[in-house]
Structure 1
Amino acid sequence: MFLFWRKGFEAASMHDLCDAMGVRSPSLYAAFESKEALYLAAIEHYVLTQGPPVWDKLAIGKTAREGIENLLIGAAEILPKSRTAPAGCMAVLGGVSDEWPASIARVIRDVRLDMLGNLHARVEGAIASGELPAATDIDALSRFYLSVFQGMAIQAKDGATPAELRGAAKAAMAAWPGVG
């Protein structure tokens, strides 16, 4: 997962993958059948292990605004490179820098659509609770905050610090309807 995350699908060679996993090529093919299948397993593992520490924060907070702010501030802390993980979001970065087979492109698109769906549900709940006006464009607001998250992932890959990403998150939250 980390090798694909750091290098991308195309740049990660089978030799690199075998070295990273400590196996020989026949063992890798016996377990995963193809580089594509290995990448799909890696992205599934990424979603299960790396997604929750960031995306679970969306549910924290009494209001949708608090939840989205928690998500973005959490992303500011997690997206920059650490000792154990590459910078950015594997599902975002590959979409702007890698050429995938169609099967991988579909899976990654679905991961990003799930992100959008989570934001959409939280904004929809804010309308239902009266936090936001009924006329709020749910899709536009959800896409705006997903775009902020995706931009933060790219900036983290480019070396942005947690403090810089927190600043971007705070600026984005200033755009919340009714804040001013």
Structure 2
Amino acid sequence: MGRTRSFDLDDALDTAVEMFWRQGFEATSIQNLCQAMEIQPGSVYAAFGSKRELFVATVRRYVETVSADAAERLTGVESGLQGLRDYFAHLVDAMVEGKRRWGCLITNSLVELTQRDPELAGLLTEHLARLRAAFAAALARAAGDGELRPGAGPESAGLLVAVVQGMNVLAKTRPGRAELQAVADSALAGLTP
């Protein structure tokens, strides 16, 4: 009979999310992960199987927590335009004062791993598709309420995903609030009358 797990899986995943988010997959050793999670290597392998599988679990955890919160900002208010403004305001805050100063785990991983790991690339691309869908829903509400300029609408969702991905990369250079806010404001100004 196997031993009972003596650590909290959610706490371990949250710690691993931060490690991979800050350092990337390659630069994060299993030893560093074990030390940060305060778990023995054997327990990590027993719980997750491999460093790659732990990484996949952290990506899923990130999507369930950080990304779900972002999508809620887009869809949690009646006004589509207000949802977009709330999303970008929170994004800028997180890039200046929070963990998004490390960029985005999804964006960072796309840059680092997609050429080498098609399965993981699919998981990351799935996330971008969900973000695009959340933007499209907010844009559809905004267009329906007359908050957007003629010709702007759900088809602009891909543009907003590209802006966010660019901001995620830019955040790693610590550009400051004014520069990040100017990017967000410009993106929304191109959609509004």
**Is residue 2–residue 86 contact of structure 1 (8 Å, CA) maintained in 2?**
no
Per-residue deviation, 1:109: 1.1
Residue 126 of structure 1 pairs with residue 128 of structure 2 = no
Residue 11 of structure 1 pairs with residue 1 of structure 2 = no
Report the structure, 1 or 2, having the larger helix content: 2
Per-residue deviation, 1:41: 1.2
Per-residue deviation, 1:77: 0.5
Distance 1:101 1:5, change over 3 A: same
The whole-number CA distance in structure 2 between the counterparts of 1:169 and 1:85 is 15
**Is residue 58–residue 71 contact of structure 1 (8 Å, CA) maintained in 2?**
yes
Give me the TM-score of the superposition, normalised by structure 1.
Answer: 0.84
How does 1:1-180 map onto structure 2 within 5 Å? Answer: 1-80=17-96, 82=98, 87-99=102-114, 101-132=117-148, 136=152, 138-139=154-155, 141-177=156-192, 179=193
The whole-number CA distance in structure 2 between the counterparts of 1:101 and 1:159 is 29
3-state SS, counterpart of residue 160 of structure 1 = coil
Distance 1:133 1:176, change over 3 A: closer
Per-residue deviation, 1:61: 4.4
Per-residue deviation, 1:44: 1.6
**Which residue type is aligned with residue 164 of structure 2?**
F
Per-residue deviation, 1:130: 4.7
The whole-number CA distance in structure 2 between the counterparts of 1:173 and 1:127 is 13
Identity over aligned pairs, percent: 27
Q: How many residues align?
A: 176
3-state SS, counterpart of residue 96 of structure 2 = coil
The whole-number CA distance in structure 2 between the counterparts of 1:153 and 1:71 is 14
Greater displacement, 23-32 / 161-170: 161-170
3-state SS, counterpart of residue 60 of structure 2 = helix
Unpaired segments ≥5 residues, structure 1: none
**Is residue 115–residue 146 contact of structure 1 (8 Å, CA) maintained in 2?**
yes
Greater displacement, 55-64 / 39-48: 55-64
**Is residue 32–residue 38 contact of structure 1 (8 Å, CA) maintained in 2?**
yes
CA RMSD for the aligned pairs? 2.4
Provide, for residues 79-126 of structure 1, a one-character-per-residue CA deviation record: whole Å limited to 9, x for no partner: 2363x6752211112212335533222111111111011111222333
**Which residue type is aligned with residue 77 of structure 1?**
D
**Which residue type is aligned with residue 51 of structure 2?**
K
Provide, for residues 129-176 of structure 1, a one-character-per-residue CA deviation record: whole Å limited to 9, x for no partner: 45457854633x111111111111111111122332112111211101
Higher relative contact order (CA 8 A, sep 6+): 1
Unpaired segments ≥5 residues, structure 2: 1-16
